[in-house]
Structure 1
């Protein structure tokens, strides 16, 4: 599958982002069930070929929604390897922010206000950002420079704004279908760039690894 090409009109950045978000979401949602299933399998394969990822023990991911690249096979693969997996939860006290909680096969789940499943809050299972080695981020569009555009809520950007100053800093890895790659993502000042993007077909390494 070839990367999507998108020529942006000369308009304000918010309009550009909204137009791009609508286009790529439609392309992503248009993938067949068979294509989604194969992409999820290929994602596991891509991870297994990356030594900088396979050596990690504490990995945060997400549960897929809205046509996002399915992470379920990857999560199950990591469990089989005795890795610790974490999922984002809407922050209980800071609206617009996330916290990360360990996710196991028997973790009680609830539906948050967006209708997305997340672990039922258990403060004893929360993990601080400096203790998470990698955070796999969902996204709508990305480019080869490592710029990411999400759904527009800003939850990850707010939460990770200071992550680059953590010692050690978590590796920020975007997970996406190949058709979500564009020539250039319109960037806002608050956008947090990615260290790495993994698709079922390639690994994009725009920035030097921090580990």
Structure 2
């Protein structure tokens, strides 16, 4: 697999690394993305562990992202409660519960989510979209910092969600430049399976 260089290998910044990873992802055909998304769902169904009733944050795919909806449906069948992120303003997202038949409305960044009547919840497991990731579980998001702030708010309240990156293998890079506010992933789920990092308490899922 071709990998891009991170800090320490030419001092390439996050914006450049993000663009390269997204360009590679954008190069996948729609048919290939569908096939890889289904493989992600199959691996996640067999390898992600959680207790029944756990609130799982998914997301609605935009642009060339993996489609997590087949995985979300599988997790719901196993007893997960689902929720989706909703952008409240330029700095804040909350998670609203997703129930069968819920009304979905535009919720920022070209995606959809439950309307204001839905309950705001705190996920115990988060499926995290990303632009790039490295072998240590560091991720590059899309630049707005919404997920980092949402995770930080939960941690401040004593809630430590398990963070599962959702990506294609070609989004892996050698090294992500890190900052103090970054929250590393516990594991990443791609079309070739689930990889746990040092932060993940569920080491049997590797």
State the TM-score bracket (shorter-chain normalisation): 0.7 to 0.9
RMSD value, Cα: 2.2
Verify: 1:155 aligned to 2:153, yes or no: no
Alpha-carbon shift at residue 134 of structure 1 (Å): 0.3
2:93 is matched with: 98
State which drifts further: 43-52 or 141-150: 43-52
Which residues of 2 match residues 165-180 of structure 1 at below 5 A?
Answer: 166-180=157-171
Q: Distance in 1 between matches of 2:135 and 2:75?
A: 27
Q: Distance in 2 between matches of 1:77 and 1:54?
A: 14
1:207 is matched with: 198
Q: Structure 1 residue aligned with 2:78, among 71, 76, 81?
A: 81
Instruction: Write the deviation string for residues 75-102 of structure 1: whole angstroms up to 9, x where unpaired.
Output: 22233334211100113xx641211111
Alpha-carbon shift at residue 176 of structure 1 (Å): 0.4
Which residues of 2 match residues 42-57 of structure 1 at below 5 A?
Answer: 42-50=39-47, 52-53=49-50, 57=54
Alpha-carbon shift at residue 169 of structure 1 (Å): 1.7
Q: Distance in 1 between matches of 2:27 and 2:53?
A: 33
Does the 8 A contact of 2:52 with 2:78 survive in 1? no
Task: List alignment gaps of at least 5 residues for structure 1.
Answer: none
2:5 is matched with: 7
State which drifts further: 106-115 or 137-146: 106-115
Structure-1-length-normalised TM-score: 0.85
Instruction: Write the deviation string for residues 35-91 of structure 1: whole angstroms up to 9, x where unpaired.
Output: 111111111111122252476632111111121111121122233334211100113
Task: List alignment gaps of at least 5 residues for structure 2.
Answer: none
Verify: 1:119 aligned to 2:110, yes or no: no
SS at match of 1:52: coil
SS at match of 2:130: coil
Alpha-carbon shift at residue 207 of structure 1 (Å): 2.2
Q: Structure 2 residue aligned with 1:39, among 25, 36, 55?
A: 36
Does the 8 A contact of 2:125 with 2:161 survive in 1? yes
Q: Distance in 1 between matches of 2:138 and 2:108?
A: 27
